[in-house]
Amino acid sequence: MEFKIGDVVQLKSGGPEMTIEEIGEHQLSGGKAVCFCVWFEVVAKQRVVKRDTFRPEVLKAVEDHPGPSVWQF
């Protein structure tokens, strides 16, 4: 599957919904494509931004993404 910047994705094995913020190559991937993803986690009642890179093969699109959510504490 091809992804583009702004797509909402999730690991095929589950986990948080993430947004693709960049697509490119990473030296650790041996020059293969990777998706640079960003998501939020709540830690001690505060939103914390998390980022990591994933191969496209381990991601799936989130089809029924409800759009922006309102964070309430």
| pLDDT (0 to 100) of residue 58 | 96
| pLDDT (0 to 100) of residue 67 | 62
pTM (predicted TM-score): 0.79
Rounded CA separation 32/67 (Å): 30
Residue 64 half-sphere exposure, CB side, CA atoms within 13 Å?
0
| pLDDT (0 to 100) of residue 28 | 65
pLDDT 10s per residue in the chain (73 long)?
689 999 999 999 999 999 999 999 766 667 788 999 999 999 999 999 999 999 999 999 998 766 666 555 4
Neighbours of 15 (CB within 10 A): 10
